[in-house]
Amino acid sequence: MIRTLLLFCSLLCSLLSFYSFAGSDQGTYIKDERYKVGDDIRWAVPDFADQDWKAVFDGLPKEQTVYWIRSHVMVDPQASPAPMGIYTTAFGSYELYWDGQLIDKSGVVGIDQASEIPGPIVNISRVPDEAYTAGEHIMSMRISSFHSQDIARETYFGQYLASYERLQFKRYKKNLPPIMILGGLLIIALYFLQLYWIYARDKPFLMFSLLCFAVSALLMTESYKGLFGYTYDWHIFRLTLVSFWTGLVAVLLPLFLLYQFELPFKKRLTLAAALIMLSINTWVPGYDFSAEIMFVVTFIWALIIALYAWRKHKQGAMLTVLGLLVVVLTKVLVPYGFQDSLFFPSFGILILCVLTTLTQRMKVTQQERNEALVNSAQLEIMLLKKNIQPHFILNTLTSIEQWIEEEPQTAVKFIDALADEFKVMNAMADQKQVPLAQELDLCRSHLQIMSYRKDMQFELATINTNPELLIPPAIIHTLIENALTHNIYLQGTIKMTLTQSTVEQGICLELTAPLNLPKNLPNKEPNTLDNQSNGTGLKYIRSRLEESYPGLWDLQEQQTEAHWITKIIFKDLIGGKVK
């Protein structure tokens, strides 16, 4: 436990070391950002009086128009040396002036939508070295917003000064960890998708693959702005994509944990999560704020699920809890820089923790698969041995020898019936499940053989049976063998009945056989169950049922005054398939 806590602390400290706050260099800061609607080149002049202009903090113009922003920049003698850069993100095309001198452009400012050419949503401008001196400076922007959407026009603006080299480097440094994580996420997503389709149809593998794909899509959408950029008229489209991928991640994360730890109410909880995320995205104002709320809700929810799984002693739950705690505590310790700088690195740590638990799950799955293969091979051998038992072969050959001498035609018919049974048995020997129709063919072939051997008539009637129902091979055949072995039928026609019905648990197959026990065996009381029988035949049936429907079956035996009734119930089965 101490080693786990030390690992957790080291991961959290390493993650926080990546964090750096984006702001102005020491000694240089912007104050009194003001704007005015209109267009007058004199507003770029440093000594122009802008005291009556509106504060940018109170919101930019609501309408599509041309307006100016004037900012007072203070540079003290201890400020960072030139060259300096201006980082600007604006919802419009603009011209940038420093003390009345035009130093940069972003797009083409226009007087209407036709004349305006949208500029990049993010731009880094260089301040002329000779213009960057100690004292107060005026930074002016002439902006047109005719390609902007109403939803972000008033609030989307940001600007700060820093070393020009630092800004250029920071642009790529900020996106380097996410891009590194992106490559790993895509490889993991593709790997687990292949595992699901090729190796094992394990739902957690599929959910984890989809989760990694969704996080990769969110990461690419978030990083595209800093790496490649785009004109500002595409910004709302990108924010819409970010909201969609965020909501999808917020739904897939708890869904994956529900499947990973095999917890109940998956569909209900997933539907509830989807409705909550849709409500947040619809009613919470602001793209960034709604995304943050979705992340907070889903990580708290996921942490509750993981803690519940830990309490239930589910494998891998503790490691998942630690990964989620890294994300949650990072959000608590760095609330303002989390979404921009630390979400993807912290989520990468969570992915590593979950990857470890899935690797452990794969190991267990492989062990179970190997055991199942061994068990399946043993069952196939047992199935073949059932029809080549020495006493059965000996009695059969004796009967054939007698008929060849006395009734050659009967001998031929008997051999044909025997061949039919062996043919059907051989066809299903390596199958884990066979259609009920094939099983009935085997049973009728066996009853025909026994009819010749006993010189009686054995029949099998069916009621409401579905020929396509998949069942383990030779389980009805084994029940019929038990009925013939443990009863003494002397004459007449012996009719057995197989009935299929739907019960509360699923589907029930009921075999009814006439009861005529040997006189030296005590009769059991009517209406009693015999679930404790451990004969070879019942062991085979139970093993086959557990192989095909692990934990989803029940075998019941009941004796009445005239019949022996055996019921096989396939739980959670509809139309021959598991729900």
Confidence category of residue 525, pLDDT binned at 50, 70, 90? very low
Q: What does the mean pLDDT of the chain come to?
A: 82
Q: What is the mean pLDDT of residues 365-374?
A: 62
Q: What is the mean pLDDT of residues 168-194?
A: 82
Q: What's the pLDDT tens digit per position in 454-472?
A: 788 899 999 999 999 999 8
Looking up tokens 């944990």 gives 257
Nearest to 139 by CA among 73, 234, 217: 73
The DSSP letter of residue 466 is -
Q: What percent of the chain has pLDDT over 90?
A: 35
CB 249 within 8 A of CB 344: no
Q: What is the mean pLDDT of residues 164-177?
A: 76
Determine the Cα–Cα distance for residues 309 and 301; give it in Å rounded to an integer: 12
Lowest mean pLDDT among 27-36, 242-251, 401-410, 546-555: 401-410
Domain extent listing, the chain = 28-172, 174-365, 432-578
At 99 the pLDDT is 94
pLDDT at position 251 over 90: yes
pLDDT at position 23 over 50: no
Q: What is the mean pLDDT of residues 487-505?
A: 87
At 511 the pLDDT is 94
Nearest to 463 by CA among 494, 500, 413: 500
Residues 6+ apart with CB under 8 A from 180: none
Confidence category of residue 380, pLDDT binned at 50, 70, 90? low
Q: Which residue has the higher pLDDT, 532 or 317?
A: 317
DSSP string, 87-130: EEEESSEEEEEETTEEEEEESB--SSTTT-BPPBSEEEEEEPGG
Q: What is the mean pLDDT of residues 311-326?
A: 90
CB 119 within 8 A of CB 154: no
pLDDT at position 176 over 50: yes
Determine the Cα–Cα distance for residues 293 and 227; give it in Å rounded to an integer: 26
Q: What is the mean pLDDT of residues 525-550?
A: 64
Terminal-to-terminal C-alpha distance of the chain: 41
At 306 the pLDDT is 93
Determine the Cα–Cα distance for residues 364 and 356; give it in Å rounded to an integer: 13
Angle of CA points 459, 423, 490, to nearest 5°:
30
pTM over 0.85, yes/no:
no
Q: What percent of the chain has pLDDT over 70?
A: 82
pLDDT at position 248 over 90: yes
Highest average pLDDT, of 79-93, 168-182, 397-411, 524-538, comes from 79-93
Q: Which residue has the higher pLDDT, 126 or 389?
A: 126
28-172 folds as Jelly Rolls (2.60.120)
Nearest to 40 by CA among 72, 67, 60, 63: 67
Q: What is the mean pLDDT of residues 319-333?
A: 88
pLDDT at position 203 over 80: yes
Q: What's the pLDDT tens digit per position in 215-237?
A: 999 999 988 888 788 999 999 99
Q: What is the mean pLDDT of residues 19-27?
A: 45
At 18 the pLDDT is 47
The CATH architecture to which 432-578 belongs is 2-Layer Sandwich (3.30)
Q: What does R_g of the chain's alpha carbons equal in angstroms?
A: 39
Written as six digits, the tokens of 549 are 């429907």
CB 517 within 8 A of CB 535: no
The DSSP letter of residue 231 is B
List, edge to edge, every strand of the sheet that includes 122-127: 122-127, 84-90, 157-163
Confidence category of residue 5, pLDDT binned at 50, 70, 90? very low
pLDDT at position 334 over 50: yes
Q: What's the pLDDT tens digit per position in 402-458?
A: 677 677 777 777 777 777 777 777 777 677 888 999 989 888 888 888 888 778 889
CB 426 within 8 A of CB 418: no
Cα distances (angstroms) measured from residue 51 to each of 70, 194, 528: 10, 65, 98
